[in-house]
Structures are given as structure tokens and as C-alpha cells.
Amino acid sequence: MPELQELPEDNIFQAYGILLLENKHRFVKKLKKHYTPSIHGHKTWNSSFLLMDYFLHKQLLNNKQRVLELGCGWGPTSIFCAHHAGCKVTGTDRDDEVFPFLELQAALNQVEITTESISFEKLTKKHLTDYDIVFGTDICFWDDLAKIHYNLINRAKKAGVKHVLLADPGRQPFFDLAERVLTKHDAELLDWYCTEPEYFEGYILHVKL
């Protein structure tokens, strides 16, 4: 395990080699006076750490890869990919009010993340051809998202994406999506856990295209 960094100030925490901000951090409080994320983009979600742990164990990332995060929110997993492996990372979210929080955390970790405001449905085959890996964490929380993500995975395959990975604590729409994907694609649904910044259990759907 890498040696822990000395944290520069209060309300910052470390996980998987990157620094992240708590809601109580002074800069986050300042941003919240001007930006109001919606669609659950108001904090770092635990499934992000599941995927960081999985990426480390499977050694999927390298500095030649172009990766796309779906529903990036504050972007912890995007930041991890750029910081840990030097990937070229794009974070997408329908709500552009999340991007100042992502940019703040990216600057803290001295990485750059490209951002784009776009919905899942508008990520076309042509758009997806630019990426080797597509991933998302905690993004299958409404019933209609299971169908939306299933169609997106099919477009990703046609676009030549090599891997699609989704992490989730175990919501029913996520399981509905996994059931459909497992019947059509080379995919695994895995129980997974992470130990940073604390112990958390969930699931990873890894689709190998």
C-alpha cells in the first residue's frame, strides 16, 4: 500500500493515492454559494472507490488510453485514472454545475480532466469511437436508466470501445441492467469491496467488448 500523504489541511481525505474534498471544506462551501448541482451531484459517492480498487487489481489502465466517465459528478474516478495511470480522461455529466467541483479536485491532484455536458442518450456511436474505456459509478438509480445504459453499451460495442465498467451499491435498476447485459455480451457481475477511505461493499458490471 502506498505511503499516506500528510494532509495539507482539514476536511480533505485521501483514497487510492488521490486527495478529495469533504463537503465542509472551505473551497467547497464557497463554490456552493454559486453552483447548485442537481441529479445527485452533490458529493463523492462510495462506488467511485469500488472502481478505483478494481482498476488497481485488474491493471486495466495505462497512459495510452482514452477514457470516458459517465455521470462524473465531482469526478473522483476520473481524477484517479489521470493521476494513477496518466490516462486522457473526459468526464461527462448532464449537469454542468458539477464541473467546478471536479475542476477544483483535479487541480488539487495536479491533473487535467476534459469535461462535457451531455446526457447518456446523446452519447452517439460516433462520440464513443474516441474512447477505449467507458465507465460510470452510481449512475443506475432510476428504473428508466437500465434501458438507457443498455442501449449505450450496445452503441459502445459498435464504436469499438474495449471495456465498459459500471459500479453500484446494488440498486434494482442496476441489477436489471446487468441481467440484460449478461445475456448479450461477454460480461461479469462481480461482488467487490474497497478499503479506502473506509470499507464499502458493492457490485461491478464489467463488459468486455
Domains and CATH numbers, the chain: 12-208 (3.40.50.150)
74-133 pLDDT, tens digit each: 999 999 999 999 999 999 999 999 999 999 999 999 999 999 999 999 999 999 999 999
- The span from the CA of 33 to the CA of 5, in Å, is 30
The predicted pLDDT at position 26 comes to 87
Reply yes or no on whether the pLDDT at 182 is more than 80: yes
The predicted pLDDT at position 5 comes to 56
- The span from the CA of 176 to the CA of 77, in Å, is 24
Neighbours of 96 (CB within 10 A): 14
- Predicted TM-score (pTM) of the model is 0.92
The predicted pLDDT at position 1 comes to 40
Share of the chain above pLDDT 90, in %: 84
Nearest to 44, CA basis, from 14, 10, 76: 76
The predicted pLDDT at position 8 comes to 67
At 2, the pLDDT band (50, 70, 90 cuts) reads very low
The predicted pLDDT at position 6 comes to 64
Over residues 151-158, the mean pLDDT reads: 98
Reply yes or no on whether the pLDDT at 4 is more than 60: no
